[in-house]
Each structure stands twice: as C-alpha cells, then as structure tokens.
Copies of this chain bind each other. A is one copy, B any other.
Amino acid sequence: MTDSPSTPPTACVLIIGDEILSGRTQDLNLKFLGERLAGLGIRLSEARVVPDIESRIVEAVNACRTQYTYVFTTGGIGPTHDDITTPCIAKAFGRAVIRHPEAERKLRGYYGDKTNEARLRMAEVPDGAGVELIENHISIAPGYRIENVFVFAGVPSVARAMFEAVAPSLRGGPPVYSQSVDAHVREGDIAAQLAEIQGQHPNVAIGSYPFMRLDKLGTSIVARSIDKQGIATAIAKVAQAMRALGGEPVLGPAP
C-alpha cells in the first residue's frame, strides 16, 4: 500500500499456524509487536490468525497488504513440510520462489556438513524486486521483506530479533503516549464520569479495564494519545473522579 507521508502509518499482524488455532500454542508475538509499533507511532489496526492452508494464507496476505502500510507475518518459515509461508507469499505476489544466494551462504556456513535440502528451504524467498533479507542473530535462517510485507519466524525470540532488525527502516508516525490510573472503584460506578471526560478529550482514547486484586474489584483506566498534555489532563480528571468515589487512585508513569 502506498500512502502519503503525512498519514500516520498503519500495520497488520498475520499469525500463520494451525498450532495457534488448535490452542496448542499461546501466541506471544502480537503483544510484543503491538507495543513496539505503538512506540514507533505505527497503529496496529488488525491482526489475523490463519491456518496452514495455502489459499487462506494467500487471501489474507493480499487482503492485508493492500489495506495497511505494513504487514508483519509470523510463523511457517522453518525447514519442515508444514512450513508453507514462503510459497504462499510468493503466490500472493504472483512470483516464483528462488533460493537467495546470501541466505544460502549463511545457512551453509552455519550448518556445515549438516546442510541438507530441508535446511536450504530456509534460504527460499520470492523472486524479483523489493525483496531484502532480515537478519536473524538467534538462529541464522533469515526472514525477509517483500515490498510492505515483513516475513518473520514464529518463535518469539526470533520474531523479536527480526523486528528489531527492521525497526530502524520503518516509517514511524507521531509516537502514541499512554498513562494509566488504577483504583478500587467499580467500572459501573465511574462509567458516566468517564464518558463525560472522554467527551471533553476527543483526541485522547480513554479505555476502561476491570481488574480483581486481593479479591477486590477495581478499574484500570488507560489514556492514549499523541498529545501528552491531553493525557495528563484527562488522567487527572479520572483520578479526581476515583477519589470522589472513595478510591485511592494509583497513577502509572507519566507519558
């Protein structure tokens, strides 16, 4: 997707893998990517989890890459038969799959006489322009970028390393700041005042999340915005409302 440099960039995370949908594996990449992207001023606007089925992956890649500034995929780039992400990405872009010479060199250097055809599948990338390897300092086999799609491993430590490798190349937007305030006040008691405060601060997104600590219900309010002063004012009003309801507001770190 091409968008104007003045529009805040957007992103989608595409989690590829039967193991996430079957409940075998707890996904840990979405939370990490959401936090890091927010810090870069890139709005994570959607995430999808799709099974290891070619047509479903191709369809999701094409739906997302035209809609968002960046797409980050996780999973399916290992050496085994169930790792089908690369042929699917290639198909989504209408390209052939080739073995990338630099990736092959890295893998041969790392695996030595343990190099085999299965491991060399990890050197495969879509053919053509706009493809760049993404370094993997954890387990060598690289990820890659093709146009606005970044293809990462599913193993969280490797996905993180790959994200950090590309982060400096991403076009960020104004950073989104946030601050929280928590109190043992129930959501239903503070809801009307929260709605009023939200109305007074249209450029601050005020989220309300119930919690249970020491067997007592409470509410965590999170204000998110590119406007630090707006956050501070909104959070001060929420804290005051919490105090008026008998709560003892605990403020999170200033944005």
The number of times this chain is found in the oligomer is 2
> Is residue A206 contacting chain B, with contact meaning CB distance below 8 A?
yes
Does A151 sit at the interface, judged by CB under 8 A? no
Residues of A12-59 at the interface with B, using a CB-CB cut-off of 8 Å, are 18-28, 30-38, 44-52, 56
A116 an interface residue at 8 Å Cβ cutoff? yes
Residues 90-119 of A at the B interface (beta carbon under 8 Å): 111, 114, 116-119
| CB atoms of A23 and B33 under 8 A apart | yes
Which residues of chain B have C-beta atoms less than 8 A from A28's C-beta? 26
A209 x B25 contact (CB < 8 A): yes
For A119, the chain B residues whose CB sits under 8 A away are: 188, 191
**Nearest residue in B to A17 (C-beta to C-beta)?**
B207
The minimal Cβ–Cβ distance linking A144 to chain B, given in whole angstroms, is: 19
Query: Which one, A78-86, A128-136, A165-173, is touching chain B?
Result: A78-86
| Contact A80–B191 (Cβ < 8 Å) | yes
Q: Within 8 Å of chain B (Cβ to Cβ): is A155?
A: yes
Kindly state whether residue A205 has any CB partner on chain B within 8 Å.
yes
Q: Mark A150-174, 1 if CB is under 8 A from B, else 0.
A: 0000010000000000000000000
A244 on the interface (CB 8 Å rule)? no
How many residues from A make CB contacts under 8 Å with B? 64
**Alpha-carbon gap, A11 to B176, bound state (A):** 34
Which residue of chain B has the shortest Cβ distance to A28 in the bound complex?
A: B26
- Are A20's CB and B26's CB within 8 A? no
Q: Which residues of B sit under 8 angstroms from A20, Cβ to Cβ?
A: 30-31, 34, 47
Q: List residues of chain B with CB within 8 A of the CB of A206.
A: 81-82
Q: Contact partner of A79 among B24, B83, B191, CB < 8 A? A: B191
Given contacts A23-B38, A31-B23, A46-B48, contact A114 B189 (CB under 8 A): yes
Known: A21-B47, A22-B35. 9 other contacts (CB 8 A): A18-B224, A19-B209, A20-B30, A22-B44, A23-B33, A80-B191, A80-B195, A116-B191, A121-B191
29 contacts between A and B (CB under 8 A): A18-B224, A21-B44, A21-B47, A22-B38, A22-B178, A23-B44, A24-B34, A24-B207, A24-B222, A26-B28, A27-B27, A27-B30, A46-B49, A46-B50, A46-B51, A47-B48, A47-B49, A48-B48, A78-B210, A79-B191, A81-B195, A82-B206, A82-B208, A114-B189, A116-B191, A118-B191, A118-B192, A119-B191, A121-B191
